[in-house]
Amino acid sequence: MAKPEIDSVTGVETTGHEWDGIKELNKPLPKWWLWVLYASIIWSVAYWIAMPSWPLIADYTRGVLGYSQRTVVAKSLEDARAAQSRFLDRIAAADLAGIKADPELLQFSLAGGAAAFGDNCAPCHGRGAQGAIGYPNLNDDVWLWGGTLDDIHKTLNVGIRSGHPDTRDNAMPAFGRDQILEPAQISDVTDYVLSLSGGEANAEAAARGKEIFAEQCAACHGEDGKGNIELGSPNLTDGLWLYGGSRNEIADSIRNSRAGVMPAWEGRLSPETIKQLAVFVHSLGGGQ
């Protein structure tokens, strides 16, 4: 080793490292700093003993304090549930209109309902409940099975064609597939249905279609085509279409029928959560 170079100004040796003519002085570290290092080493050994630390082949050392982040998470979830219970107990006891009328419970249900909606409903109905072709938009005022708090609550509980014993269910005939109507008749009915909501339609064909409609469709959709919430049959006059409102899409619906499915949430979500969801969906703007 070369003899350390002594800096002429300070009389201190240099490390020999030089940057642009500036040399680093080799200043000794204060001794207490070394003691801090030793203290840290002792601390780390104590930590290994006290806390979970070393990985083993199938397990890890648990530490004598028995700390585990899983139990911490479980505890904080339990605490959160306990903190919510004062609202949830009241929601369980209250009826839906009562929840809506109580500002505190409404606020809680809107937040809780939004979270439950995001977890359970958004995959089909969309993040903003805006729906998609075949999946209803829950923001508007169009309801197949009714838009009151109780209607929405029941739909949530029993689902649609869900297999639940009380499920909401109906069946529209597949007029084309089952050869109930001729293709030409289906075309005429399509024109009539288009005309109901003020769409572009052939007047002559619509007149022919009107007769077929009265015969085949009015039983469910009503004489005037305004549908029937009791039967879950859609209003055909409002210009809002669950399966699309183009000529082809309407004809396709008549030909092959439509039968959407929604699961029953009873038993899958807690009654309080379903109540919150009902209030949330009702408050999206279209509730009746």
Partner 1 sequence: MRARTEPDEFMAVTATQHTGRTASEAAPGVEQLDVAAVNAPETRSLYAAREKVYAKRAYGTYRTIKWIVMAVTLGIYYLLPWLRWDRGPYLADQAVLIDFPNRRFFFFFLEIWPQEFYFVTGLLILAALALFLVTALAGRVWCGYTCPQTVWTDLMIAVERFWQGDRNARMRLDKAPWSFNKVWRKTATHVTWLAISVATGGAFVFYFRDAPTLMGEFLSFDAPAIAYIFVGIFAATTYLLGGIAREQVCIYMCPWPRIQGAMFDHYSLLVSYRTWRGEPRGAHKKGESWDGRGDCIDCKQCVAVCPTGIDIRDGAQLECIQCALCIDACNSIMDRIGRPRGLIDYDTIDNLEVASEGKTSTLKLLRPRVLLYVGLILLVSLIMLVALLNRTVLEVNILRDRNPLFVELSDGSIRNGYTVKILNKLHKPGRFHVGIEGMKDATVKIVGFEKEKNPVISVLPDDLRALRVFVTVPRKNLETAKSGVTDFEFTVTDLNNDSTVRNDTTFRSPGR
Q: ∠ CA 269-112-230 to the nearest 5 degrees?
A: 60
Q: Are 60 and 53 in contact (CB under 8 A)?
A: yes
When the beta carbons of 129 and 274 are compared against partner 1, the nearer one is 129
Tokens of 226: 């305004």
Q: Are 136 and 241 in contact (CB under 8 A)?
A: no
The span of 38-46, 50-58, 140-148, 269-277 binding partner 1 (CB under 8 A) equals 140-148
Would you count residue 41 as binding partner 1 (CB under 8 A)? Answer: no
User: Which of 81, 86, 127, 258: binder of partner 1 (CB under 8 A)?
Assistant: 127
User: Which of 17, 20, 22, 28: binder of partner 1 (CB under 8 A)?
Assistant: 28
Would you count residue 239 as binding partner 1 (CB under 8 A)? Answer: yes
What is the secondary structure of 180-196 as a DSSP string? SS-HHHHHHHHHHHHHH
User: Which of 240, 245, 247, 271: binder of partner 1 (CB under 8 A)?
Assistant: 240
When the beta carbons of 181 and 236 are compared against partner 1, the nearer one is 236
The span of 26-34, 162-170, 212-220, 257-265 binding partner 1 (CB under 8 A) equals 26-34
The size of the chain, in residues, is 288
Whose CA is closest to 88, among 74, 114, 108?
A: 108
- For the chain, the farthest-separated pair of C-alpha atoms sits apart, in whole angstroms, at 113
Would you count residue 26 as binding partner 1 (CB under 8 A)? Answer: yes
Give the x/- contact pattern for partner 1 in 95-114, rule: CB under 8 A.
-----xx-x--x---x----
Distance between CA 110 and CA 283 in Å, rounded? Answer: 8
Q: Are 144 and 136 in contact (CB under 8 A)?
A: yes
Would you count residue 139 as binding partner 1 (CB under 8 A)? Answer: yes
Distance between CA 51 and CA 72 in Å, rounded? Answer: 14
The span of 28-36, 74-82, 217-225, 251-259 binding partner 1 (CB under 8 A) equals 28-36
The residues of the shown chain that bind partner 1, judged by CB under 8 A, are 1-4, 13, 26-34, 100-101, 103, 106, 110, 126-130, 137, 139-142, 235, 238-240, 283-287
